[in-house]
Structure 1
Amino acid sequence: MTKTITTNELAKKIMNQEDTFILDVRNNDAFSDWKIEGKKVESLNEPYFNLMDGVDSITDKLPKDRNVNVICAKGKSSEMVTDMLEEAGYTNAYSLEGGMKGWSEHLEPVKLGDLKDGGAIYQFVRLGKGCLSYFIESNGEAAIVDAARMTESYENFAKERGVKIKHVLDTHLHADHISGGRKLAKNAGGTYYLPSKDAEEVTFNYTSLEEGKTIHVGNTSVTVQPIYSPGHTIGSTSLVVDETYLLTGDTLFVQSIGRPDLAGKAEDWVEDLRSTLYSRYTNLSDDLIVLPAHFSFVEELAEDGSVSARLGDLYQKNTGLQVEDEDKFRKMVTENLPPQPNAYEEIRKTNMGKMNPENEQQRDMEVGPNRCAIG
């Protein structure tokens, strides 16, 4: 029987910053495009076809004193390599169940803090995709922001916490991952919110997420205050939670800023993006804690695995917020952009309700890293 490690077990090792060794047996180009990362992760990439006749060529590169976590695309090739390592005397080799496809789907909740009048806010970290979503609870009710399609994770968490999901919000129409918002709201009997300017082509009913309309969670003073913040999309809307946290969607990240081109509107939306970052956000308190919908670099992870930053600090450290010249800013966000997310057009159509792919197709559509940031 092949020894295996679950995505949950591996995620906890990485979130806890334990020394972790990865043997990735996918092709070199797949590894270069998208891999498992962490502050204390060491990786060796050796394609499976190079190991079909044995593992002798890599044994001198593998640690003797640490587990060897073997990774492939779906968890089959890694089982074979793990068995070969076992036969070669490596009793510390484990195959990752589900491979990179399974890794992409794991969500790890991290508590960010308590709210002023009771309740708490949690960040769900999707390590394999760089996605971040939020669970806000107070007095038996919960609001969930930018939910991934793996809705069971939020539903089970709500059940464990003894709270009812009342509000489900998307800060914008996502292009890099399939939203679980509508499904989650339907299952829970809650309300689904989406900015109306991003919803002109959707095929379903929704409640408009609009500036000036406060959303209450529980019967305490915990509130979610929408702030219109276009740029990444024309409807992008940020949220201020409990006068403490600023949920910025894909408009502002810890080490970068959002890209305006995923709907083919870079030239049209660049001024909106600049206005949001250099005007709307500057009118907010420097002490707000920025909570983005994505992260791009493992350096953004704190010791507990969460991702956040003080707004005032970002204006000192984030280079995307320090380009005073408008022409230079325009060039930065419209030229030399990174590749667009895999299947982003199909993902947008799915999030509009224009497509309804089967679950396995949805998994395939989401394979690969997030690419919502500039640089």
Structure 2
Amino acid sequence: MTKTISVKELAKKIVNREETLILDVRNTDEFNNWKIEGEKVRAINKPYFNLLDGIDPIKGTLKKDQEIIVVCAKGGSSEMIGDMLSDAGFTTVYSLKDGMKAWSEYLEPVKIADLNDGGSLHQFVRLGKGCLSYFIQSNGEAAIVDTARMTDIYKQFAEEQGVQIKHVMDTHLHADHISGGRKLAEEVGGTYYLPPKDAADATFSYTPLEEGNDIMVGNTAIKIQPIYSPGHTIGSTSFIIDGKYLLTGDNLFVRSIGRPDLAGLAEDWVEDLRHTLYNRYKELSDDLIVLPAHYSFAEELGEGGKVLARLGDLYQKNAGLQVDDEQKFRKMVTENLPPQPNAYEDIRKINMGKLSPDQEEQKEMEIGPNRCAIEG
């Protein structure tokens, strides 16, 4: 029997930048669309149906004494191929337990920094989808930004930290993944916040996120300042945390910028996006640390799995911030865009409260990369 490796164990390898060899036995089109990535990850694709008669097609590319992690969609085919490799004398073979379906859901908590008065800021990295959420805690209270659908991890983390989740907020109405914000707020008795301009069609009650209405975590110890910053959506709202960190949602990433087309209004929103990136953020301190809601490239994963950059550095290095000509910028963000996220229209409707698919349907809808960036 092939040994299994959990998604948590694999995540640790990737964020610790360990040499990792993946044998992905899904169909090639599935592999090309979405795969496990990391700075020290080498991924080989060989569809399992090409190996049913034996592993000869891959013998020449693998060494018998190296660690091999076999991956498929749900964990069944990878176990079968793993057994074949083990029978052929490969000594260290693992099957990824529950496959890419589990990989899509795993969240890795990464500490970003200590904050004032004993507080802390953590980034939850969804390695299988490139989504990032944030856990801010101080004096027994916590706030969470851009919560993933899997809410148990946040509740478990809060319990470990000895804090109560009081505030849950989304930077915008997401189109690439199902927000767990409203659900989590209901589960813990917290307040759910949403930008009102993104919530015009919402079927539920919420507390509006508005600039000037700061949110205090832990008896005023940590301040969260909403900054209205439309572009990716008409309601997109950024946050300045503790005066040091800028949560940019899907407007600005480490190596790219957000796309304005996921509500079908790219031509209408492109000027908002440009103003936010070239004016609104430019007015802020260069020393703010940008913490985005997504990443698209394995190279964006820094030490320990952190995804961040200094704002001033992005104005020097991020290609999306170097386009001075307005027409060239408009063309960049409205033409030749990458494919839109899987099921994004239905995901938007779920996040408005208009659809309520069951858990299995929700999992299937989220399979695949996030594709919220211009250079995805």
Same fold (TM over 0.5): yes
What's the offset of the Cα at 1:98?
A: 1.0
Q: Does 1:301 find its partner at 2:301?
A: yes
Distance of 1:174 and 1:180 partners within structure 2: 11
SS in structure 2 opposite 1:149?
A: coil
SS in structure 1 opposite 2:133?
A: strand
SS in structure 2 opposite 1:57?
A: helix
SS in structure 2 opposite 1:255?
A: coil
Residue 315 of structure 2 aligns with which residue?
315
Q: Does 1:357 find its partner at 2:354?
A: no
Alpha carbons 2:11, 2:108 under 8 Å: kept: yes
Q: 1:169-219, CA deviations, whole angstroms, 9 ceiling, x for partnerless residues?
A: 000000000000011101110000000000000111100011100000002
SS in structure 2 opposite 1:183?
A: helix
Alpha carbons 2:64, 2:91 under 8 Å: kept: no
SS in structure 2 opposite 1:61?
A: coil
Residue 85 of structure 2 aligns with which residue?
85
Distance of 1:273 and 1:57 partners within structure 2: 49
Q: 1:8-30, CA deviations, whole angstroms, 9 ceiling, x for partnerless residues?
A: 00000011000000000001111
Gaps in structure 1 of 5+ consecutive residues: none
Distance of 1:53 and 1:140 partners within structure 2: 59
SS in structure 2 opposite 1:123?
A: strand
What's the offset of the Cα at 1:60?
A: 1.9
Give the counterpart letter for 1:88 in structure 2.
A
Give the counterpart letter for 1:170 in structure 2.
D
SS in structure 1 opposite 2:135?
A: strand
Q: Name the % identity.
A: 72
Distance of 1:248 and 1:346 partners within structure 2: 24
Gaps in structure 2 of 5+ consecutive residues: none
Residue 116 of structure 1 aligns with which residue?
116
What's the offset of the Cα at 1:86?
A: 1.2
Alpha carbons 2:250, 2:294 under 8 Å: kept: yes
Give the counterpart letter for 1:194 in structure 2.
L
Residue 208 of structure 2 aligns with which residue?
208
Q: Does 1:342 find its partner at 2:342?
A: yes
Alpha carbons 2:107, 2:127 under 8 Å: kept: yes
SS in structure 2 opposite 1:81?
A: helix
Residue 371 of structure 1 aligns with which residue?
371
Residue 275 of structure 2 aligns with which residue?
275
Distance of 1:345 and 1:57 partners within structure 2: 41
Pairwise mapping of residues 1-375 of structure 1 onto structure 2 (< 5 A)? 1-375=1-375
Distance of 1:87 and 1:3 partners within structure 2: 13
Distance of 1:319 and 1:202 partners within structure 2: 35
Alpha carbons 1:193, 1:208 under 8 Å: kept: yes
SS in structure 1 opposite 2:154?
A: helix
Q: 1:60-116, CA deviations, whole angstroms, 9 ceiling, x for partnerless residues?
A: 211333210000011111111011111111131111011111101000000000002
SS in structure 1 opposite 2:304?
A: coil
Alpha carbons 2:135, 2:142 under 8 Å: kept: yes
Give the counterpart letter for 1:259 in structure 2.
R
What's the offset of the Cα at 1:236?
A: 0.1
Distance of 1:63 and 1:122 partners within structure 2: 38
Alpha carbons 1:145, 1:170 under 8 Å: kept: yes
SS in structure 2 opposite 1:304?
A: helix
SS in structure 2 opposite 1:280?
A: helix
The normalised TM-score by structure 2 is 0.99
Give the counterpart letter for 1:85 in structure 2.
L
The normalised TM-score by structure 1 is 0.99
Distance of 1:294 and 1:138 partners within structure 2: 24
Alpha carbons 1:139, 1:220 under 8 Å: kept: no
Distance of 2:91 and 2:63 partners within structure 1: 11
Distance of 1:97 and 1:10 partners within structure 2: 10
What's the offset of the Cα at 1:292?
A: 0.1
SS in structure 2 opposite 1:117?
A: helix
Distance of 1:363 and 1:274 partners within structure 2: 34
Aligned-pair Cα RMSD in Å: 0.7
What's the offset of the Cα at 1:150?
A: 0.6
What's the offset of the Cα at 1:220?
A: 4.2
Give the counterpart letter for 2:9 in structure 1.
E
Alpha carbons 1:117, 1:220 under 8 Å: kept: no
Give the counterpart letter for 1:222 in structure 2.
I
SS in structure 2 opposite 1:134?
A: strand
Alpha carbons 1:138, 1:220 under 8 Å: kept: no
Alpha carbons 2:168, 2:184 under 8 Å: kept: yes
Distance of 1:41 and 1:65 partners within structure 2: 17
Distance of 1:283 and 1:221 partners within structure 2: 25
SS in structure 2 opposite 1:368?
A: coil
Q: Which runs of 4+ in 1 moved over 6 A?
A: none
Q: 1:271-323, CA deviations, whole angstroms, 9 ceiling, x for partnerless residues?
A: 00000001110110000000000000011111211100000000000010111
Give the counterpart letter for 2:307 in structure 1.
V
Aligned length: 375
